Structure 1
């Protein structure tokens, strides 16, 4: 499938998209636009942003079609060997402040093109595994940040799944630097009113990227792009992709706070290159982009990543112990102070992401797969360390998940995750899984006991307000845990 993207009037925020379909062998085909995007497990119904939609044949004659669902069209080819689908897509998401801000959507203005292809590029049913190309009509002054190969104004993807997991940001104002680890090339991009301290950024990004690769054994891709858009307003959003991450942060005046956020979200999203982009739940191999893909292991995809993203920053020497504990205390607060009295298990919360995972919930119902997921990942890490005298950890769990399910492209189940965790721990983890994963047992006692083992005190008042205090910075278990 071949696509062209251009904007006749960028200030209108409309993209014009042309899709060429060749080698048609049937008298009817179906054109489909995705209803959701990987990384955010809710139906977003991107078709609502289509203003006009038309189809012509190789002689530029209009072709009959009609909608069969909100985002699917049945096309009557009538012997045509080539079709051109043309649509206008509104690429504009507005923050309440009036500034664009959304790492998962698309945007066009006179100076910037940002496209998540999953939003706006349809596909032909049954042909998602064909190679794809996207021709971009851009001024010569534009620089292009994308995880896809870019040559002669065209992006090239192995197939449709590869294409829609590779957003593009283009602007004449992009800044970039690169570094290499082993045989992998890393690129860091910035757009916005931000002056990067490139020496520090390259040093820190190299450290945590190196640590992640050392722990996991190798990297899934040959190159990786950290694509950052810095806004003048407060914002924090990152989306993982196969060989890139798109991050939107602000405000651009925040200084050290902005840089700390940048490190945190970048380490988190990089780890997703293994955990969810490759180590994927069996229910999502392959992604069905037309409907909900219910799964029980969202706490593995997001909770483990949330926990380990910050751990990698400490273990690599990017974060000090004080900086790490500040972030960890924030994670504890987010769980206990917001969701500590909720009745839902993590398995239920993973499944119900598609119901209310990204909107305000009724009181004491939902738990966060990110926050509680990170807390229970911390507990699993500690239980394994206690059982093995620090000879094993959650790193060994995820490395085995990568070897057995990521590299092989075999989806994993909840039972698979439990089997590997118990294999690493060297014994049963039934209490852990019953209380922390399948049940809704309050976790204050477990967290207090494990933190005490590390020489850290945590207290909870009646409202579950959290206070964390380091009692013994020389604690041997703490040194084994965080280095």
Structure 2
């Protein structure tokens, strides 16, 4: 078992003091690695740049010789040693859903930022001791086996379980079947618990009903509400870390909370379990290139708002507004971009989260959602709504997610065609592997649902409802 301890060494200056104990060493040279990126954001983030001090000692307190061989990797001379202790101080001063932050009233840690691993020992259980005041509550997906002590079955679970601790945390829970769902809030935000629990229960039930079961025994929505504008959520094994603001926004903030929460919950299946073969397991030392980002993020973006409509949390007007925003962002911003979805999925690791040069890259979130909508309606109209994208995702869950088996782009096409009943080469060639403009293709489908994309002379678009009582619309959205 690998032991860690974390405390605020100097909370006013935002430093964490971290200890790592490695026992039962049977090698002359041990390699220590800090991750270079984190799941959910497919770019190198070089967390080692936040390490201020790095030291290693034997069990008698004598310094151990080590050498830094890469930006985030060290070799340690362990000949004759059974145990070593590693000490580092980490600068934690970023308030977003994927970083770490500490002050007098807050301990927020994404373990993937600051906890190294020993090469060859990632499958061992991990124990984390938190040296925090007794009045701090802990929001985290890991099992708390003792007070302020967390347990992970291996390093992969450890770094997929962010922690938020504070005496100011508030929470409630609800239950679907035997699964407990916890909703945590930190910040100056007056929570309407009756409405929050009711709405969250509704969209959770709809998601589980569609997918057939839930992958985890519990789940944590960890929400940090800031006084400044922010919108960020990150999916994890049995939790999501969400950072929103400003806390004064009212209904707009709550609408954002619903949208990002539904999106991140669906990630529990789609990417946390239904994972591309290129990412099973994660390699934390370098880029994990994959061509199916449009499945991981685009399909999830499409379903996030759709689940809110199906569950009755969103009205038709609410849903059309959100879908219209997705369409507007794609068609007005990158509808004529050169890259395909496959190319842009691959290039996430190059510039996927930074402003791109004109007409180069498409968004795997926005265009990914558009092509998910096209596939869903294409299947529905051919089968008179007896089959849909729901069936595709259910089969992806049964054949890959449940079996911890990575899927390929070809696997996704094979399952889509199995549900559709014939070849979908046209769809995959044009919508996924090509960069053909999609306005005409989408409008021909939406017209059958009583919706229409209107494009003005300046190229600005709006989504209009031409027939709110359309039967296809009802079967699709209900």
Structure 1 stretches (4+) deviating beyond 6 angstroms? none
Gaps (5+ residues) in structure 1? Answer: 94-100
**Alignment-derived partner of residue 316 in structure 1:** 311
Write the distance in 2 (CA, Å) between the matches of 1:77 and 1:468. 64
Write the distance in 2 (CA, Å) between the matches of 1:463 and 1:42. 35
Q: Does 1:181 align with 2:182?
A: no
The superposition leaves residues 157-191 of structure 1 with CA deviations (integer Å, 9 ceiling, x where unpaired) of 01000000000000000010000001100000000
Write the distance in 2 (CA, Å) between the matches of 1:160 and 1:12. 28
8 Å Cα contact 1:184-1:222 kept in structure 2: yes
8 Å Cα contact 2:336-2:435 kept in structure 1: no
Write the distance in 1 (CA, Å) between the matches of 2:402 and 2:457. 46
- How far 1:406 sits from its partner (Å)? 0.1
Write the distance in 1 (CA, Å) between the matches of 2:127 and 2:293. 32
Write the distance in 1 (CA, Å) between the matches of 2:457 and 2:290. 34
The superposition leaves residues 99-144 of structure 1 with CA deviations (integer Å, 9 ceiling, x where unpaired) of xx31100000000000000000000000000000110011111110
Write the distance in 2 (CA, Å) between the matches of 1:479 and 1:129. 48
Q: Does 1:338 align with 2:339?
A: no
- How far 1:462 sits from its partner (Å)? 4.8
**Alignment-derived partner of residue 73 in structure 1:** 74
8 Å Cα contact 2:182-2:221 kept in structure 1: yes
Write the distance in 2 (CA, Å) between the matches of 1:141 and 1:371. 43
Gaps (5+ residues) in structure 2? Answer: none
**Alignment-derived partner of residue 139 in structure 1:** 133
Question: Which region of structure 1 is more displaced relative to structure 2, 147-156 or 435-444?
Answer: 147-156
Q: Secondary structure at the match of 1:7?
A: strand
**Alignment-derived partner of residue 102 in structure 1:** 96
8 Å Cα contact 1:4-1:19 kept in structure 2: yes
Q: Secondary structure at the match of 2:273?
A: coil
Q: Does 1:148 align with 2:142?
A: yes
Write the distance in 2 (CA, Å) between the matches of 1:309 and 1:298. 16
Write the distance in 2 (CA, Å) between the matches of 1:189 and 1:16. 25
8 Å Cα contact 1:7-1:14 kept in structure 2: yes
Q: Secondary structure at the match of 2:263?
A: helix
- How far 1:468 sits from its partner (Å)? 1.3
Write the distance in 2 (CA, Å) between the matches of 1:395 and 1:128. 35
The Cα RMSD (Å) is 0.7
The superposition leaves residues 432-462 of structure 1 with CA deviations (integer Å, 9 ceiling, x where unpaired) of 1111000000000011111111001211235
Q: Does 1:222 align with 2:223?
A: no
The superposition leaves residues 397-417 of structure 1 with CA deviations (integer Å, 9 ceiling, x where unpaired) of 001000000000000000000
- How far 1:218 sits from its partner (Å)? 0.2
**Alignment-derived partner of residue 185 in structure 2:** 190
**Alignment-derived partner of residue 121 in structure 2:** 127
Q: Secondary structure at the match of 2:454?
A: strand
Aligned residue-pair number:
476
Write the distance in 1 (CA, Å) between the matches of 2:320 and 2:299. 17
- How far 1:8 sits from its partner (Å)? 2.6
8 Å Cα contact 1:56-1:84 kept in structure 2: yes
Write the distance in 2 (CA, Å) between the matches of 1:102 and 1:208. 25
The superposition leaves residues 273-312 of structure 1 with CA deviations (integer Å, 9 ceiling, x where unpaired) of 0000000000001000000000000000000000001000
Q: 1:391 aligns with which of 386, 390, 402?
A: 386
Matches within 5 A, 1:233-272: 233-272=228-267
Write the distance in 2 (CA, Å) between the matches of 1:464 and 1:40. 31
8 Å Cα contact 1:53-1:85 kept in structure 2: yes
8 Å Cα contact 1:304-1:373 kept in structure 2: yes
Q: Does 1:353 align with 2:348?
A: yes
**Alignment-derived partner of residue 211 in structure 1:** 206
Write the distance in 2 (CA, Å) between the matches of 1:195 and 1:17. 34
Write the distance in 2 (CA, Å) between the matches of 1:156 and 1:279. 24
The superposition leaves residues 82-109 of structure 1 with CA deviations (integer Å, 9 ceiling, x where unpaired) of 000000000012xxxxxxx311000000
Write the distance in 2 (CA, Å) between the matches of 1:480 and 1:173. 44
- How far 1:463 sits from its partner (Å)? 4.4
Q: Secondary structure at the match of 1:8?
A: strand
8 Å Cα contact 2:222-2:242 kept in structure 1: yes
Write the distance in 2 (CA, Å) between the matches of 1:4 and 1:343. 49
The superposition leaves residues 349-407 of structure 1 with CA deviations (integer Å, 9 ceiling, x where unpaired) of 00000000000100000000000000000000000101110001111100100000000
TM superposition score normalised by structure 1: 0.98
Write the distance in 1 (CA, Å) between the matches of 2:110 and 2:356. 28
TM superposition score normalised by structure 2: 0.99
8 Å Cα contact 2:97-2:242 kept in structure 1: yes
Q: Does 1:307 align with 2:302?
A: yes
Q: Secondary structure at the match of 1:40?
A: coil
8 Å Cα contact 1:457-1:471 kept in structure 2: yes
8 Å Cα contact 2:282-2:288 kept in structure 1: yes
Write the distance in 1 (CA, Å) between the matches of 2:203 and 2:354. 32
Q: 1:451 aligns with which of 446, 459, 463?
A: 446
Q: Does 1:431 align with 2:432?
A: no
**Alignment-derived partner of residue 405 in structure 2:** 410
8 Å Cα contact 1:306-1:370 kept in structure 2: yes
**Alignment-derived partner of residue 171 in structure 1:** 166
8 Å Cα contact 1:340-1:464 kept in structure 2: no
The superposition leaves residues 307-354 of structure 1 with CA deviations (integer Å, 9 ceiling, x where unpaired) of 001000000111000000000000001101110110110000000000
